[in-house]
Amino acid sequence: MVLLGWTVGAAQPLPQLTPEQAMRQAAEKLPSVQVARALLESAQAYASSIGAQPNPFLRLSYIAGEPIEEANALAFRFEIAGQPGLREQSAQRSAEARSQDLAAEKRLVALRTGQAYYSYWEKLGILKVARERVDLARSLERTSYRRLTVGEISQNSHMRAQLELARAQADEVTARQESEQALGLVNLLLGRTVAEPLAMPEVPAELPAIPETKEVTGGQLESLQVGLEQLPEVEALRKEAAAQERQTELARRGNAPELLLQFYRDRFGPTNVNAAQLSITIPLWDWGTVAAEVGRREGLQRAAEARVAEKQLVLQQRALDAVKRYQAALEREKILASQATRFLKLAGDARRAYDANLMTLLEVFDVQQSYRQALQAYVTAQADVARAALEIGSLSPTGFFEEVSRVQP
């Protein structure tokens, strides 16, 4: 019997999603980015016409009585103390601040996604170690049972081997649950279903390529801190402070004179009057409302300026922390790289030595524990290097993160 159109075989492998692809995808789709983009569009729309003069108005009136009186006028009010220009400048600075906010949000989303990606890779590595531990413990338990049946070890020693297998299986469950949680976070950031599978490089043989990373030295830390001044989150606060400065100046002109131009037609009895009138209105007093608004605006301006310095301090602390974490993780990775390979061989040798009655059960447990800890530490060190490198990249005004954060006009 021949079946046409059917292929029986292994499932096609899932395409791998690189960290760079994941970061770019999340930086465009995540809801927080869409919120920032909508706020930018709103600010741009507001700034496009807020600098116009007040709208003209038409006044129609009719007075009952004798003789009949009518008065109709088309009036234009003009602010002559620069208020329209100040409103426009303030709105433009606010729109520029929202543009920088969008760029900063895209950077943050890309960073979170990249770090979540490497955390998932780390959890997969730990899960692989846990599964290898189960395989070793199961092999050890079988060997222990064989030796028990021939009277080479006691029942208590065999129970220890069974307990080690149970612990290994329990740790595997925990590692699997943590890897599923890490996968769920990556999928949420990518706008995918929580349980959707994601193909990853083999662990720990290959660390997924980190976008534009290089070893950081002490001198580069200083240059990194200098570049913090150009980051979009700092620029956004500067633009907001500039907008508040113009709002303060606008408040100071609250009692400025205004021009009023009217084209009117009056009819009083049989008499008609058609004329144009230009007048100036001068406020006499305002009961302190302008002074109160000026005081409020001055306080907001000072707060906006202080936020710039506050953000600079926070970024400097982040830069210092990221560089130190990167350097420490890099050292740990170099130290543990050779140990992880060596302990893998020792773990296999220890199991065979126990099978040949050359090592005790406790000695085998000790070797396996050392192997597990060394390999887990190595995988974690690799992920720490990647996460810290991404943090450093996100604090640089140029490079991959600058490209990801570009705002299309």
> Domains of the chain by range and CATH?
26-404 (1.20.1600.10)
Q: What is the mean pLDDT of residues 369-373?
A: 79
Say if residue 205's pLDDT is above 90. no
Backbone angles phi, psi at 404, to 5 degrees: -65, -35
Residue 9 — pLDDT band, cuts 50, 70, 90?
very low
Give the pLDDT confidence of 231-286 residue by residue, as tens digits.
Answer: 999 999 999 999 999 999 999 998 899 999 999 888 765 678 888 889 998 888 88
**Residues 337 and 378: beta-carbon distance below 8 Å:** yes
Residue 409 — pLDDT band, cuts 50, 70, 90?
low
Q: What is the mean pLDDT of residues 377-383?
A: 91
**C-alpha closest to that of 390 among 185, 186, 118:** 118
**C-alpha closest to that of 59 among 78, 83, 76:** 76
**Backbone CA torsion sign across 158, 160, 166, 171:** negative
Residue 11 — pLDDT band, cuts 50, 70, 90?
very low
**SS3 at position 217:** coil
Rounded CA-CA distance 183/72 in Å is 72
Q: Which residue has the higher pLDDT, 209 or 290?
A: 290
Give the pLDDT confidence of 39-67 residue by residue, as tens digits.
Answer: 999 999 999 989 888 888 888 877 766 66
Q: What is the pLDDT of residue 65?
A: 62
- What is the reported pTM? 0.84
Say if residue 363's pLDDT is above 80. no
Q: Which residue has the higher pLDDT, 215 or 394?
A: 394
**Backbone CA torsion sign across 246, 247, 250, 252:** negative
**SS3 at position 343:** helix
Sole residue written with tokens 């769920």:
184
* Beta-carbon count within 10 A of 138 CB: 15
Give the pLDDT confidence of 24-38 residue by residue, as tens digits.
Answer: 999 998 999 999 999
**C-alpha closest to that of 142 among 158, 157, 163:** 158
Both structure tokens of 243: 């907008």
Backbone angles phi, psi at 378, to 5 degrees: -70, -45
- Within 48-154, residue ranges assigned H as helices are 83-149
What is the share, in percent, of the chain residues with pLDDT greater than 70? 87
